[in-house]
Structure 1
């Protein structure tokens, strides 16, 4: 009995000591850094026990409601500042864009790509890689066909693939992924792939598995303790292999390009990069080298496949739930385009309702709710708090796209919020699916072209039917972490 009492007392004493040390650690850390408020972190673990890993996003939203528009969360021992709401995110990324221009840390990405490329690089490397990518995508001085022509061509391949389902229910995940990925393959690698190509399907599998991993508990644990987790066994190693395999595929393609390169006639992004490398081969400080070529190509391939295909898949699910919206889009398509020619980007200005629906799909689907991490370039004062240089900052884009001060009834799907009383498209500053400021997505223009041409082509050629009652379709995401994916579904496509 006495031994039991002594053990209990010892455990209680250790617990109290642990709580006291946690409080001292938290207070001393905050006093040194003057960080925004937030929940009390534990030593080493930070706030991991206070965040539901399966509902990370909802956990962060609850903390925002408790602590305000700027708050701190500890992912393991690392403090992260969260920005909540349109006004806060705008003040940081737009009004103070120079202070927030640096990219923060994504441990999974950095583990494989080591800070090279476009997405996660900083400083002069980032400026040069971004400028080169935007210029290449904009001018596309590689071959005789424009980007729009490539999108239109791929849309017709997609139509034929959907026709082959012959009215039988099908899951659109890989079909849409194939079509969207082929656009960026055409730009980056110089060719498209057949939808049955095994290597192509393997690449799409890598992307889908990476997305699942990035929305899992294991990713959150890896992000908190990357230096430890890379040595510990677990399923994260098999998931990280998907990113390594993507990198290996790109490395193989760059070698083929090097062997067949014609300096006077670039075929694609890789060729353009290789030509730039050749021009700067005498510059010891050049950023145009093989590491940046491979990482930039992986960035373009992954982002160019994942974001648009997920938005397209989510959008079709939404249109299955709201047939009246789908039918109104088809009426506009029939009136402006008809059935005998391909939709083109020029049609967008004459199709205000369709454009508004696509805007609302992007707002509502909210596929990158946390945004990508930023970090400030110097110690700054922001809304009465100190954010030290090197501390990561997440602009919670979901709190912008669903800010009820900017979008009335934000949980309701309503395309008319983007239309004025005359039915003309209304631009909204809080529409930030591509983020904002200097770090906004460099592929925004390409993504908008793809979404318009793919959506209008599908609706021009098919009547879409759900396999269940529209009222039973669940639009809530499949998980609620750093990304939002639609729940798996099937549909029936009947030729019009």
Structure 2
């Protein structure tokens, strides 16, 4: 007769055999932290977790290592050579996204960021083509960015040189650029629906790469029935989707078939053209999630970079002064300038690039999935393996940067002061999954940064010698909230 003790012993034996069988099945994976039952190797990064946790593991296990997230083996590529070999030299094999329970619940394998196969190819191609039509690299979207930058300068001026937290003002301006791109309109800072949208997007991003994200992917069948932050994340996702759906319905009523004005207009037009195509992936679910993807990728990243930019300019007053002198000397008193003027401002361009390098705004690159078995540096990365390109390790690689842990614009300047492109500058990723909004982000960063530095000198509050460069560690890595003084310049525009 089976006793409770016997049943428990048999269960333990079965679980142990299953665990050992999994270890044997994945024996060819690169080395990594000891894998424990249930939690895998995550214990190594959950202890004293920081921005540098992944790079510390690379020092111990090499630039290609395996980190078990519960039952999911994740291959991490660290440093420029490993990342280049994976996502650039083998780009065609690292162009899929892993379908994890958490991301499936958020996006259901639709949109641009988390779709795969034909759906991804069609949605991404449409996104690239449409953003070009909307003026990416041309003056139409740049005009709107200039308008938002002007509004931001006015908002900063209203602080009258007193200490203030720039987070909300910058977030509103950057989010409105994406609103114009998607919806063809901007929203006022006090618009209730706009505030809810912005806060919901923030909450979604804040939940990624957290303990509850890990638990959801490890125990999806259990977490679906338990309360916690993951429930709030899905509620926020539904709120954003509802907001986008309402905008889509408005566009249907006032549809501009002959003169599409924004992303939704172009998408609805494409849906109509593709009605008879049985292979078409143009539908409202993909439209909603494509819009959400553009918001997710286009708001937090640019906002965080600008926040780091102001903080670093405040702390490095000599560099701030050199930027302002170059802007004054080249642009003079002229009110107008364009993104093309970056070629005339090599030092300013170098500083913007160095901000992105020195304070990379993501914890790591968005995960990918290997579509075919790949051999790298003597290791076999099996088909279906989840792969993370640690882009922070690339931007701090001592083999690529003279002073990787110092804020040094000379990384992007030659001996004559000319701007120099660097192969290891990969804040937007690389390969087939390179960030769709890279060009938009570059234009925004340049215009916002130049307008602000032209109009103000940034100083720490009275009694503060230097703002602490502390990081909030989540999927994005913004600075801890800080206050700064924007002192109007006599020649600022």
Structure-2-length-normalised TM-score: 0.92
**1:205 aligns to 2:226 (yes or no):** no
Q: How does 1:70-469 map to 2 (within 5 A)?
A: 70-105=64-99, 107-140=101-134, 146-214=140-208, 216-467=210-461
Distance 2:102 2:50 in 1: 17
Does the alignment pair 1:58 with 2:43?
A: no
Question: Which one of the candidate residues 473, 485, 490 is aligned to 2:483?
Answer: 490
Per the TM alignment, residue 53 of structure 1 is displaced from its structure 2 partner at its CA by: 6.2
- Deviations along 1:252-295, one digit per CA (max 9) or x if unpaired, are 11111112112111110000000000000111220111111111
SS in 2 for 1:472: coil
Is contact 2:88–2:430 with CA below 8 Å preserved after alignment?
yes
Question: In 2, Cα distance between the equivalents of 1:62 and 1:186?
Answer: 42
Superimposed CA distance per residue, residues 362-387 of structure 1 (whole angstroms, 9 cap, x where no aligned partner) = 00111113101111112222222222
Would the alpha carbon gap of residues 49 and 275 (structure 1) be closer, same or farther in structure 2, given more than 3 Å must change?
same
| Conservation of the 8 A alpha-carbon contact between 2:267 and 2:287 | yes
Give 1:57 shift: 4.3
Contact conserved, 1:53 with 1:216, CA < 8 A, in 2? Answer: no
How far apart, in 2, do the equivalents of 1:28 and 1:240 lie? 31
Distance 1:24 1:125, change over 3 A: closer
Mapped to 1, the partners of 2:174 and 2:340 lie a distance apart of 20
For residue 75 of structure 2, give the secondary structure of its aligned residue in structure 1.
strand
Cα distance in 2 for partners of 1:23, 1:326 equals: 61
Q: CA deviation at 1:31?
A: 4.7
Could you tell me which residue of structure 2 aligns to residue 4 of structure 1? none
Q: Aligned with 1:464: secondary structure?
A: strand
2:206/2:475 contact within 8 Å kept = no
Q: Tell me which residue corresponds to 1:37.
A: 31
Q: Number of residues paired by the alignment?
A: 481
Q: 1:23 to 1:36 in 2, by over 3 A?
A: farther
On the 8 A contact 1:152/1:343 being kept in 2, the answer is no
Relative distance call for 1:71 and 1:301 in structure 2 (3 A) is: same
Q: Is contact 1:320-1:470 (8 Å) kept?
A: no
Q: Counterparts of 2:12 and 2:393 in 1: how far apart (Å)?
A: 35
Structure 1, unaligned runs of 5 or more? 1-10
Deviating more after overlay: 442-451 vs 482-491: 482-491
1:386-440 deviation digits (Å, cap 9, x = unpaired): 2222210000111100000001221110011110001011111110000111111
Return closer, same or farther for 1:141/1:65 CA change in 2, 3 Å cut-off: closer
TM-score (norm 1): 0.91
Q: Hey, what's the Cα distance between the residues in 2 that align with 1:487 and 1:83?
A: 28
Residues 103 and 215 from structure 1, CA distance in 2 versus in 1: closer, same or farther, beyond 3 angstroms? closer
Structure 2 CA distance for aligned equivalents of residues 203 and 478 of structure 1: 22
Any idea what the Cα deviations from partners look like across 1:436-477, whole Å, max 9, x if unmatched?
111110111110000000000011111212126665322131
- Aligned-residue offset at 1:26: 5.0
